[in-house]
Amino acid sequence: MKFGTKAIHAGVEPDPSTGAIMTPIYQTSTYVQTSPGQHKGYEYSRTHNPTRTALQNALAALENGKHGLCFSSGVAAADAIIKLLKPGDEVISTNDLYGGSFRIFTKVFQNYGIKFRFTNMRDLSKVEALVNANTKMIWVETPTNPLLNIIDIKACAGIAKKNNLLLVVDNTFATPYLQTPLDLGADIVTHSLTKYMGGHSDVVMGAVVVKDEDLAQQLAFIQNSCGAIPGPQDCFLVLRGIKTLHLRMERHCQNGRKVAEFLKGHPKVEKVYWPGFEEHENHEVAKEQMRDFGGMVSFVLKGDRVEDAISVLEKVKYFTLAESLGGVESLCGHPASMTHASIPREDRMKAGLRDSLIRLSVGVEDAEDLIADLEQAIG
């Protein structure tokens, strides 16, 4: 199936008892057994739920994987992945990372003896230099949050395979519509389904997709044992959301391009971060591993003054100042005080995340209205 057909049909079947075309919401905690240990594949909804199963199958199909697992949030998915490791193990990740991932890595798992090393992963020689006998995992985020840096997934897969490491790719910003990391050599793909996959700012959920059976069983054991699972209503909402993923992503990409080009030409804007520009670092890598360049755009104003950035964020009308991203509505945010506030300022500055940076999640409204909104806010 092509992607659009897959988004609508993969992993789901009409309800066999009624013929309902939409997957039912199985709002139940337990299931009848005909005899002790004899059931229809479902015992208890922490372990399995038919609505969740349909979503997990759909996600696996979209990512060209074999096994999907859903969690109560994107951070819960990350939590499950890191629980594959043990004290003394090390993880290499990018220094331009989502603040929630950085927080759970450094404030939670580091307390349990797992070490995290952060570096500029656009320079793969720096990644290779950090590999040692204790390294067990490479954690990639591409495009990164919020600087939209592009990391070469295939090249990272080469390093991982050579050193017998697990390669994890956070595919939240791109979605499987724009890139499929498993096809590029990744072992694990993770998502905050809260964002583009759900697409309507009405659900919080995370997911993991893999090809390897043993890896799937390990993660399923963690999912069931630790219990950070989503409810069937939320699974239904994401199932509904992914049916229009291809349509929404096309519009996000179109609008993202128009907004980025407008900002690039604005006399008060110093720099625009968007991987579709030829001068964007690793633009050629983005062209090779992505279908398009997405709807996320970040920028800084000339003068690099925090108060100017705050003024813009207070004046917008169609862009809404709020956490999160990837919904049909356009959102804007100030990473230094919002999504990335948990990262020490010194580390943010080293990575290039300035205090005045504004991050836009460009929605699916009419681009002309969004541009007019930014024009009046910037002045």
pLDDT the model gives residue 62: 98
Q: How far apart are CA 263 and CA 165, in angstroms?
A: 40
* Averaged pLDDT for residues 353-361: 92
Closest CA to 105 of 56, 168, 45: 168
Nearest to 210 by CA among 233, 227, 189, 230: 189
- Say if residue 16's pLDDT is above 90: no
Report the range of poorest mean pLDDT among 38-47, 168-177, 257-266: 38-47
Please indicate, yes or no, whether residues 197 and 271 belong to a single structural domain of this protein.
no
Per-residue pLDDT tens digits for 171-220: 999 999 999 999 999 999 999 999 999 999 999 999 999 999 999 999 99
Please tell me whether residues 206 and 345 are part of one structural domain: no
Assign 322 a pLDDT band (cuts: 50, 70, 90).
very high
Looking at the structure of the chain, the number of domains it has is 2
Tokens of 148: 């939209």
Least confident piece of the model among 14-18, 96-100, 337-341: 337-341
Q: Does pLDDT of 11 surpass 90?
A: no
Sequence letter at residue 239? L
178 and 304 in a single domain? The answer is no
CA-nearest of 94, 102, 95, 59 to 78 is 102
Q: What is the DSSP string of 230-294?
A: --HHHHHHHHHHHTTHHHHHHHHHHHHHHHHHHHHT-TTEEEEE-TTSTTSTTHHHHHHH-SS--
The C-alpha atoms of residue 328 and residue 198 are separated, in whole angstroms, by 10
Question: Residue 312 pLDDT > 90, yes or no?
Answer: yes
Q: What is the structure's pLDDT at 164? A: 98
Pair (171, 288) in one structural domain: no
Shared domain for 130 and 15, answered yes or no, is yes
Same domain? 214 vs 156? yes
Same domain, 41 and 184: yes
So what's the pLDDT on residue 70? 98
For Cα atoms 111, 114, 119, give the angle at the middle one, nearest 5 degrees: 110
Angle separating helix axes 367-378 and 245-264, nearest 10 degrees: 40
Check whether residue 253 and residue 173 sit in a common domain.
no
Does position 143 have pLDDT exceeding 90, yes or no?
yes
Catalytic positions are: 46, 98, 170, 195
Write down the pLDDT at residue 341.
81
R_g of the chain computed on alpha carbons: 21
Q: What is the mean pLDDT of residues 261-289?
A: 97
Q: What is the 8-class DSSP label of residue 148?
A: -
Domain residues for the domain of 310 are 245-378
User: For residue range 237-262, what is the model confidence (pLDDT) as tens digits?
Assistant: 999 999 999 999 999 999 999 999 99
Looking at 194, 215, 240, the residue that finishes a domain is 240
Contacts 24+ apart (CB under 8 A), 344-348: 347/95, 347/118
> Alpha-carbon distance 152 to 282, whole Å?
8
The average pLDDT across 312-316 equals 97
d(CA 231, CA 160): 35
Sign of CA dihedral 177, 179, 180, 181: negative
H helical segments located in the chain: 3-9, 50-62, 74-82, 99-103, 124-130, 153-162, 175-178, 213-226, 232-242, 245-264, 283-289, 306-315, 345-351, 367-378
What CATH number is attached to the domain comprising 336? 3.90.1150.10
Report the candidate in 377, 379, 176 with the shortest Cα–Cα distance to residue 294.
176
Inter-residue contact 220 to 206 (CB < 8 Å): no
CATH of the domain at 128: 3.40.640.10
Q: Are residues 166 and 271 in the same domain?
A: no
Percent of all residues in the chain with a pLDDT value above 90, rounded to a whole number? 91
Residue 287: per-residue pLDDT:
98
Exposed (0-12), middle (13-18) or buried (19+): which is 152, by Cβ within 10 Å? buried
Can you give the pLDDT at residue 274?
98
Residue 230 has pLDDT above 90, yes or no: yes
Question: Of 145-149, 251-255, 338-342, where does mean pLDDT reach its minimum?
Answer: 338-342
Same domain, yes or no: 187 and 305: no
Q: Are residues 250 and 301 in the same domain?
A: yes
159 and 26 in a single domain? The answer is: yes
Per the model's pLDDT, the better-predicted residue between 16 and 85 turns out to be: 85
Reported as a single tens digit per residue, the pLDDT across 75-131 is 999 999 999 999 999 999 999 999 999 999 999 999 999 999 999 999 999 999 999
Q: Provide the residue count of the chain.
A: 379
Which tokens is 360 given?
A: 């836009």
> Could you tell me which residues are beta bridge partners of residue 70?
207
Residue 79's pLDDT is what? 98
Among residues 220, 240, 260, the one where a domain terminates is 240
Mean pLDDT of 336-351: 84
Residues contacting residue 371 through CB under 8 Å, at least 6 positions apart: 258, 259, 262
| Dihedral-angle region of residue 281 (phi above 0 means left; psi in -120 to 50 means alpha; beta otherwise) | beta
End-to-end CA distance of the chain: 47
Residue 232 has pLDDT above 90, yes or no: yes
Structure token pair of residue 2: 């092509």
Predicted confidence (pLDDT) at residue 359 exceeds the cutoff of 90: yes
- Of 240, 268, 289, the residue that ends a domain is 240
Residues 6+ apart with CB under 8 A from 73: 192, 194, 204, 205, 206, 228
